Amino acid sequence: MNKRDFIKLVNGNEYKLGVKVGSKVDLEFDLLMKYFEALGKKYNPDFFIDEMDIPVFEKLFYYFTQNKIWCSTNNININKGIMLVGGNGVGKSTILRLFTEFFGMGKLKYYSMSELGEKVSRDGLSTLDAINFSRAFVIDDVGSEKESMYFGIRTEVFNSILMKFEHKNFPAYKPDEEGLISLISNADKETTRLNPSKPARIYASTNLCLDEFEERYGKRVYSRMAGFFNILNFPTRTDKRALLANVV
């Protein structure tokens, strides 16, 4: 079978990522990290991979390559989404973009929580109807949104997003008269997590540590969030942007 190096280009430079045998690509983690560090600078010139963050990249690598054995051993559910938890400037947004785009997720829709919060305050929860909850999408900077008020009614935007996602992707079931299980939802089986070949998942980032998250949103939302996401904590909260600041 034809075997050749799997190579990608960044700014005209070649990066070997592994070996391609037929239609299958065997990626090497260390080589992919070198490529991602170069590619990340196209999104953010200050981007670099901190050695202390390698465990997070490793978990993302095996999650996106759908390595069921490794993920199961390391308490990662490949049917859930990803919530990256880390301080300002650790590179969460860039890292999510690198992995989702490289592993064939396509051009995912990216939503800023602060912008969604402002839109809900102005136009109401109908703003969220623009999100296709049957497809994977990314929410950046969860927790940055201000409290949304629409005609004096307080609305928790992140919880509303999770509830809409849950309704679309986990429709209700009930026994029918013959004791069989009947679907009682108008959810589209072709585009929801009912069909694993076309999974709907949320990828998100937050600056809040888990205690801050629970304090900000409450136990109920925290519980719902934990049910939808693999929560990956950055071991360092070092602000990489601050490290590169020109202080005179």
What number is the average pLDDT over the span 97-102? 89
Q: Six-digit token pair at 22?
A: 């037929």
Do the beta carbons of residue 203 and residue 108 sit within 8 Å?
yes
Is the pLDDT assigned to residue 77 strictly greater than 70? yes
**Domain spanning 45-243 has what CATH number?**
3.40.50.300
Alpha carbon 226 to its chain centroid, in Å, reads 13
Helices assigned H by DSSP within 44-171: 54-64, 68-73, 92-102, 113-123, 157-169
16 or 107: whose pLDDT is higher?
A: 16
Is the pLDDT assigned to residue 177 strictly greater than 50? no
Return the amino acid letter for 8: K
pLDDT band at residue 62 under the 50/70/90 scheme: very high
pLDDT of residue 189: 44
d(CA 208, CA 215): 10
Helices assigned H by DSSP within 200-239: 210-217, 219-228
209 φ, ψ to 5°?
-75, 170
pTM here?
0.81
What number is the average pLDDT over the span 86-98? 87
Domain ranges of the chain: 1-43, 45-243
